[in-house]
Homo-oligomer: A and B are copies of this chain.
Amino acid sequence: MNNYTFINGGVTSPMGFTANGVCAGVKAATSAAITKAIAANDSPVIPNGKRDLALIACDRVCNAAAIFTKNLVKSDTIFVTQKHLQNGRAQAVIVNSGNANACNPDGYEKAEAMGRLAADALGIDENDMIVASTGVIGQPLPLAPIESGVAALKDILSKEGGSNAAEAIMTTDTVKKEWAVQTVIGGKTVTIGGIAKGSGMIHINMGTTLSFVTTDAAISSEMLKAALIEAADVSYNMVSVDGDTSTNDTLAILASGYAGNTEITEKNEDYYIFLEALTAAFKAVAKKLAADGEGATKLLICKVSGAKDEQAAKIIAKSVICSSLVKAAMFGADANCGRVLCAIGYSGAQVDDVKKIDVSYSSAAGEILVCQNGCGLAFDEDKAEKILLENEITIIITLADGNGEAEAYGCDLTYDYVKINGDYRT
């Protein structure tokens, strides 16, 4: 039985948090026009404009932690956020889409300025700001729209605004990702909520570009960091859309403590209850990110069991989910087991006996064994096609090497992935 329940909600569900998102015109070079439009319409949202600036704030300083991309080329927002989180505290998040503020000569100064603008508007310490950006790399970040956007945002922060914040961090995402989950810790109801964005440049090791999580649990920043790492390891770190790791990946969490539970400061029972809820939520987000991968028509889940150990199982699951050939075959509903076996073989994981690998495909339409003992089977092609025409496919790999298990998440490779990325900047 699970100790948690998913509820409708998002980043503002936990006590103490408000948020909103507006169209500030970061991407458009038309920030002045947009500012005027905002004034004229008495609305922070440009008619038909895409929201591109989000502010999430707590009414008090929170314990906080974050983990970041492993890419050596990092957006300067990451260095600013790392500096601000050195004391394990934060109170608000300012984040834009449309421009990654990466590979710019003045990126650091602008990321600091962005944080300062938000902090000043909120009347809080600029060192308590988490700053993030996502979008095109290598183009100067325009500060004017961020300034006018922040001015608009500070007056409309609300519980209801959480969804707008989720929308404002979307880039090529087709659906916004927000979630909330509740659990009980020491007799107190604890809520965790979050928003996330995909959907390209997504790979193992922080398989997201941005995700912001809030909670009203009382928990130390050290334990927040530990829980983030453990939960991300089996969720965000097991998602791949295209094998490209972004320069901006940031997964941050803020804990207001309003739930009133005894503060979690060590890996006790309360920590594991919190971790269980956080992990379940992250796994659900990982699936959403994969399903909304650029151009994707199908969520692919690769379940590996019987591997030598968990590490081998993870390597195999990731290799299969990352294979362009597997991904293209799934797009075409082609039950080609050769591509799966091939991806297992070049994964780099130790496999004691490739002649003991079984492979099945499973979906809402049924399950079919296509490979037994390392050999392709003659199977019912019609049944296989029916299974693979569903929009959520599980590739089940069973080895006979040990007890290692793992699950990875990906999507099919489609014409639209090529289309989206053939001309991303325009």
Contact = CB atoms under 8 A, between A and B. Distances in A.
A36 interface: no
A59 interface: no
A328 interface: yes
A419 to B, nearest CB: 7
Contacts of A414: 418
A201 interface: yes
A123 interface: no
Classify chain A: how many residues form its interface, as a range.
35 or more
A334 interface: yes
Given A102-B338, A104-B376, A247-B345, A371 B138 contact: yes
Interface string A345-361: 11000010010000000
Interface in A32-72: 70-72
B424 A336 contact: yes
A369 to B, nearest CB: 12
Of A137, A322, A421, which is in contact with the most chain B CB atoms at under 10 Å from its CB? Answer: A421
A324 B376 CA distance: 29
Contacts of A419: 415
Given A247-B342, A342-B245, A422-B328, A376 B137 contact: yes
A203 B137 CA distance: 27
A194 interface: no
- SS class, residues of chain A in contact with chain B: loop
A56 to B, nearest CB: 26
A373 B338 contact: no
A339 B425 CA distance: 11
Given A138-B341, A337-B137, A376-B104, A325 B421 contact: yes
Given A105-B373, A336-B425, A422-B328, A323 B243 contact: yes
A387 to B, nearest CB: 16
Contacts of A300: none
A228 interface: no
A73 B354 contact: yes
A154 to B, nearest CB: 31
A200 B38 CA distance: 52
A382 interface: no
Given A72-B345, A324-B244, A345-B71, A418 B415 contact: yes
A397 interface: no
A331 B105 CA distance: 28
A110 to B, nearest CB: 12
B325 A72 contact: no
A13 interface: no
A306 B375 CA distance: 47
Given A72-B344, A73-B354, A105-B373, 20 more contacts: A71-B345, A72-B346, A73-B344, A103-B338, A104-B375, A137-B342, A138-B336, A138-B338, A138-B376, A201-B342, A244-B324, A244-B339, A245-B345, A247-B338, A247-B341, A247-B345, A328-B420, A331-B418, A415-B418, A418-B418
